Structure 1
Amino acid sequence: MTDAPLAITVTAFGAPDQLELRPHDPGPPKAGEVRIAVEIAGIGYVDVLVGKGDYQLKPDLPFVLGSECAGRVEAVGEGVDPALIGKRVCGAGFIGAFGQAVNFPARAVTELPPSMSFEEASVFRVSYGTAYHALVQRGRLQPGETLLVLGAGGAIGVAAIQIGKALGAHVIASASSVEKRALALSTGADAAIDALAPEWREAVKAANGGRPVDVVVDPVGGGATEPAFRSLGWNGRLLVIGFAGGGIARLPVNLALLKGASLVGVDVRQFGEHEPDVQAANMRALFALHAEGRLRPPIARVYPLADYVEALRAAFSGQVAGRILLRMRPDPA
Structure 2
Amino acid sequence: MKAILVRELGGPEKLIYADHQLGPPRPGRVIIDVHYAGVNFPDTLIIQGKYQFQPELPFSPGGEVAGTIKEVGPDVTDFKPGDRVVSGTSWGGFAEEVQGFAFNTHHLPDEVSFKDAAAVLMTHGTVIHALKDRAKLKPNETLAVLGASGGVGTAAIQLGKIMGARIIACASTDSKLDFCRKLGADVLHKYTSDNIKSALKDLTGGKGADVIFDAVGGDYTEQAFRAIAPMGRYLAVGFASGHVPSIPLNLPLLKSASLTGVFWGNFFRNFPQENKANIQELLRLVASGQIKPQIDQEFSLKDAAKALIKIQNRAVLGKIIINCRDN
Give the TM-score of the pair, scaled to structure 2: 0.95
1:25 touches 1:101 (CA, 8 Å); kept in 2? no
Structure 1 position 210, deviation (Å): 4.0
2-side partners of 1:321 and 1:93: how far apart? 24
Which residue of structure 2 lines up, in the alignment, with residue 265 of structure 1? 261
Is 2:285 the partner of 1:289?
yes
Is 2:239 the partner of 1:239?
no
AA aligned to 1:88 is R
RMSD: 1.6
Q: 2:136 aligns with which of 140, 150, 154?
A: 140
Structure 2: segments with no counterpart, 5+ residues: none
1:123 aligned counterpart, secondary structure: helix
Which residue of structure 2 lines up, in the alignment, with residue 162 of structure 1? 158
Is 2:8 the partner of 1:16?
no
Which residue of structure 2 lines up, in the alignment, with residue 307 of structure 1? 303
Give the TM-score of the pair, scaled to structure 1: 0.94
1-side partners of 2:82 and 2:102: how far apart? 14
1:119 aligned counterpart, secondary structure: helix
Structure 1: segments with no counterpart, 5+ residues: none
Q: 1:176 aligns with which of 172, 192, 210?
A: 172
Residues 136-145 or 196-205, more deviating: 196-205
Which residue of structure 1 lines up, in the alignment, with residue 77 of structure 2? 81
Taking the TM superposition and a 5 Å limit, the aligned residue runs for 1:59-138 are: 59-81=55-77, 84-138=80-134
1:179 touches 1:321 (CA, 8 Å); kept in 2? no
Residues 81-90 or 97-106, more deviating: 81-90
Which residue of structure 2 lines up, in the alignment, with residue 216 of structure 1? 212
Structure 1 position 198, deviation (Å): 4.3
Per-residue CA distance 1:263-304 (angstroms, 9 max, x = gap): 011111111122111101111111222233221220011111
2:63 touches 2:92 (CA, 8 Å); kept in 1? yes
1-side partners of 2:318 and 2:257: how far apart? 32
Which residue of structure 1 lines up, in the alignment, with residue 31 of structure 2? 35
1:92 touches 1:126 (CA, 8 Å); kept in 2? yes
2-side partners of 1:116 and 1:49: how far apart? 29
1:44 touches 1:316 (CA, 8 Å); kept in 2? no
2-side partners of 1:225 and 1:197: how far apart? 8
Which residue of structure 2 lines up, in the alignment, with residue 200 of structure 1? 196
2-side partners of 1:146 and 1:250: how far apart? 24
